[in-house]
Amino acid sequence: MKKQTQATEASINVFKALADPIRLAIIRYLRQHDQALSCGEIGQAMQISKTSGSYHFKILQEAGLITVRKVGREKFVKLDRVTFDHYLIHFWQNL
What is the contact surface with a second copy in residues (CB under 8 A)? 1-2, 4, 8, 11-12, 15-16, 18-22, 24-25, 27-28, 31, 84, 88-89, 91-92, 95
Side by side, the strands of the sheet bearing 37-38 are 37-38, 74-79, 66-71
The answer to whether the CB of 63 falls within 8 A of the CB of 17 is: yes
* 26, 20 contact by CB (below 8 A): no
Residues facing 14 on adjacent strands: none
Residue with Cβ nearer a second copy (16 or 69):
16
Near DNA by CB under 7 A: residue from 16, 31, 69, 81: 16
Nearest approach, Cβ of residue 94 and DNA (Å) = 21
User: Under the criterion CB under 7 A, does residue 59 sit at the interface with DNA?
Assistant: yes
3-state secondary structure of 31: helix
Q: Site residues (CB under 7 A) for DNA? A: 1, 16, 19-20, 22, 38-40, 43, 48-59, 72-75
